[in-house]
Amino acid sequence: MNVQPDVEFIKYLKGVGGDTVKKCYQCATCSVVCPLSSDQKPFPRKEMIWSQWGMKDNLLADPDVFLCHQCGDCTENCPRGAKPAEVMGAIRAYAYNFYAWPRGLATLASSAKNLPLLIGIPAVIIFVLWFISGGLMADWKANFAAGYGYQRMFGHWDFHWYAKNIFFIVLFSVPAAALAIYSAYRGIRNLWQAMAAKYELNGDYRPSAGQFIGQFLWPSIKEILSHNRFEECTVNTDRKKGHKPLVFAFIGLFIVTCWSLFANDILGLFWPQFHGPMSFWNPVKLLANISAIAFLYGMYVLWVSRAEQEKKAGAESTFYDWFLIWMILAVGVTGLLAEISRWAGLAVVGHIIYYLHLISVMMLFLYMPYTKFAHIVYRTFAMSFEKYRESAFAKNPAQ
């Protein structure tokens, strides 16, 4: 075998948490203790040696990289302190950057030195739109007193069928979300093609969209929601306690957001009572508040878990690990403080906090494919590929 190591790839891994990869001497302890590794597909041993040799192409087409839940069992039991869990995390960070589009934005979101620019881009865009809309010069106290809350953040016009506030929020939120969705789609498509080529799967007999969803994608989603694989981990058991409420909080907040848009932009056109802030006891508002609490609780548990892991196992603190946590925490805290400010009648303070909330939301949308958030999408399709690879669709009927 002629191995052509990618030295730059090795340097990247060492810079984002995989600096211990050279300590590995292939004892296979990591694969033995990993509860998710099997005899047929042992990991992370093979990923460790591929990383040492700079075999980037093998790693980028390896579904096991994304099936790893980084529970830390391997790192805890490694006799050499090679920290396989950290190396696997570093490989995933590289994969998200490699498959991302546009590459320039992905590179920007990969380094702490770019944080002022990462915050500044959405901050300037939203501020300019706020200024152009006239909302920056509006009477915020009067809007609060009239019960509009932040629904006139970007001002008001008399056109009944489309609110000015929604028009300006759509101007920045929809393009950011569309870019994230398209980037994620391109990344998943390229990853799937790379995995299929690596395992030389039969491409003559492909499932329909319905078959793929029913037999491979939906079972993977259900497994992820149940967090069954997290339960098999023995060292970092707190990750499930934080991860599960966080996932369901996102689902709850997504439902609330969709309902709010539907109620304000469609139902409110015909029934004015759907306009304006919801009462505290409104079922949707209750779901929003419960989701927000679960959101903050999940983030707190994961934050403490990560800090303890760094202290106990000597895991390196990297921008890649913390950037997503900071963004999610910013969304939750600013959203909650904006609501409290509205209850307290603090119009000026509330609008400033809501502006920061919109910045954090745009950041979450815009940078999602380039952060740890991407593992939700990549892991889902890696698990689907795992099931697909064992199915009749992927096997050569002549064999």
Per-residue pLDDT, 211: 93
For 343-385, how does the pLDDT look when each residue is reduced to its tens digit (9 = 90+)? 899 999 999 999 999 999 999 989 988 888 888 899 999 999 9
Per-residue pLDDT, 135: 93
Among 55, 80, 99, the domain-final residue is 99
Q: Are residues 93 and 237 in the same domain?
A: no
Q: Are residues 95 and 107 in the same domain?
A: no
Q: Are residues 175 and 256 in the same domain?
A: yes
Q: Are residues 73 and 130 in the same domain?
A: no
- Is 398 part of any domain? no
Per-residue pLDDT, 312: 65
Range of the domain at 143: 103-389
Query: Measured between alpha carbons, how far is 41 from 388 in angstroms, rounded to an integer?
Result: 15
Q: Are residues 146 and 195 in the same domain?
A: yes
Per-residue pLDDT, 191: 94
Structure tokens at 204: 């003559």
Residues of the chain with pLDDT under 50: none
Among 99, 124, 147, the domain-final residue is 99
- Is 16 part of any domain? yes
Q: Say what the pTM is.
A: 0.82
Contact 92, 66 (CB under 8 A): yes
Contact 130, 355 (CB under 8 A): yes
For 54-68, how does the pLDDT look when each residue is reduced to its tens digit (9 = 90+)? 889 999 999 999 988
Q: Are residues 281 and 378 in the same domain?
A: yes
Helix (DSSP H) and strand (DSSP E) numbers for the chain:
20, 0
Closest CA to 363 of 120, 99, 107, 101: 120
Domain CATH for 71: 1.10.1060.10
* Cα separation values, 287 from 257, 330, 333, 376, Å: 11, 20, 17, 23
Q: Are residues 164 and 83 in the same domain?
A: no
Residue 318 backbone zone (phi > 0: left; psi -120 to 50: alpha; other: beta): beta
Per-residue pLDDT, 38: 80
* Cα separation values, 60 from 15, 93, 133, 355, 367, Å: 18, 11, 45, 39, 21
- Is 2 part of any domain? no
User: Long-range CB contacts (< 8 A, 24+ apart) of 307-311?
Assistant: 308/238, 309/72, 309/236
Per-residue pLDDT, 363: 95
Q: Which residues contact 254 (CB under 8 A, 6 or more apart)?
A: none
Among 45, 71, 99, the domain-final residue is 99
Per-residue pLDDT, 279: 74
Q: How many Cβ atoms from other residues are within 10 Å of residue 398's Cβ?
A: 5
What is the total count of domains within the chain?
2
Q: Are residues 83 and 224 in the same domain?
A: no
Q: Are residues 18 and 165 in the same domain?
A: no
Q: Are residues 360 and 232 in the same domain?
A: yes
Sequential DSSP letters for 287-315: HHHHHHHHHHHHHHHHHHHHHHHHHHH-P
Q: Are residues 73 and 108 in the same domain?
A: no
